[in-house]
A and B are shown apart, each in its own frame.
Chain A
């Protein structure tokens, strides 16, 4: 393990940025299509549900303080079974990284750089992720902290300009809530982004104090932010329009007018989304590399980083054919798939933990 310390503020910014990241651009349109004008309720309830589910991992972290995710599974299950669980966790982290890059590729090729080959974006982001992983968790935390004031300023600016085109009539008719759309259809959001939280256990030992509480706070702030963004999109673009666009937030920023001579600020707005994506990628990549290093007793993180980046870049190219296929897959399978690492594995670890404790006493 590294000899590093993270402040509560650094950890909080990592949690918020990682929770928001890709969901911030990808999900609002999908949620509005399902839950119409009540879509802003979805991030709130799924946020609470996701955080509730992650309490399983938090309980384990409280029982095994000062050790990370992989060490917990090794201590509870022993060497062989612990390694099997670790491989599952590493696989999930690789999948998340591939997904993030795939979403990034989709976004960049559809909107900003339409003539660039898509693997280039992933390669550029992964190069920096490799570098930051070699530098360690403190460098990553400081980078996140550095971006906080900049992002707060940009978000505040964006929200203040967007309010100019606000129209309350987009929330009408205030009819009966579509429960089907708000609850069952949108339940996939519990998994993405809230069930990815198991990765945070990796850096719990480095946080100065009360990492569990900070994590809960960060996730709920992330959920509220996602709700606010969805609310803003409904109020500005309207339900019908927002549900037919792949990236409604991008379209909204294209149409905003700061002044008659300053318009088309989508490039600037996209940059702060890219920062969120970059931090999620960097953090999950760091966790995957550290996990492999611990599972296979490797001393040098750089030795694993480069081949892992090649693997992730390769897999990210074949995740989905297009964004529609991506969303369809997400709606159908992501909750079950993420449940393995966020429900089944921690539940198994807790049961084994109780059995072994009872045997000892």
Chain B
């Protein structure tokens, strides 16, 4: 729970900072998308259903071979 709360807090604080700095909209969108990916992963870890990159790779390799 703590990493989720911390990452959410850091993301919001930095987002406000970058908006105040008038960063281009494209950069802010990329920032939001990447942050969202990380936050969603932490959320999935809380409910014990995280995205497992090695499992995805193994599945792909098994299908291809």
Contacts and interface: CB of A to CB of B under 8 A. Distances in A.
A306 B32 CA distance: 11
Interface string A319-347: 11000000001001100110000000000
Interface in B13-65: 14, 18, 23, 26-27, 30-31, 34-35, 37-39, 41-42, 45, 50-54, 57-58, 61, 65
B50 A307 contact: no
Interface string A234-273: 0000000000000000000000000000000000000000
A58 B42 CA distance: 38
B34 A319 contact: no
A333 B52 CA distance: 14
* Residue in A123, A307, A333 whose Cβ sees the most chain B Cβ within 10 Å: A307
A315 B7 CA distance: 13
B38 A329 contact: no
A304 interface: yes
A95 B11 CA distance: 22
Contacts, number: 86
A333 B53 CA distance: 12
Interface residues of B, number: 29
A337 B60 CA distance: 9
Contact of A337 (B34, B38, B57): B57
Contacts of A311: 34, 37-38, 41
Interface stretch (A140-148, A184-192, A225-233, A295-303): A295-303
A304 B50 CA distance: 22
A314 B37 CA distance: 9
B35 A314 contact: no
Contact of A319 (B2, B14, B26, B53): B53
B50 A317 contact: yes
Contacts of B65: 336
Given A95-B53, A307-B38, A317-B45, A337 B61 contact: yes
27 contacts: A95-B57, A297-B26, A298-B27, A298-B30, A300-B27, A303-B27, A303-B31, A306-B10, A306-B14, A306-B35, A307-B34, A307-B35, A307-B38, A310-B7, A310-B34, A310-B38, A310-B39, A310-B42, A311-B38, A314-B37, A314-B38, A315-B51, A317-B41, A317-B50, A318-B51, A333-B58, A333-B61
Interface of A: 95, 98, 117, 119, 123, 292, 296-300, 303-304, 306-308, 310-311, 313-315, 317-320, 329, 332-333, 336-337
Given A306-B14, A307-B37, A337-B61, 19 more contacts: A117-B2, A123-B3, A299-B27, A304-B31, A307-B11, A310-B39, A311-B34, A313-B7, A313-B38, A314-B3, A314-B37, A314-B38, A315-B41, A315-B53, A318-B45, A318-B50, A318-B51, A333-B54, A337-B57
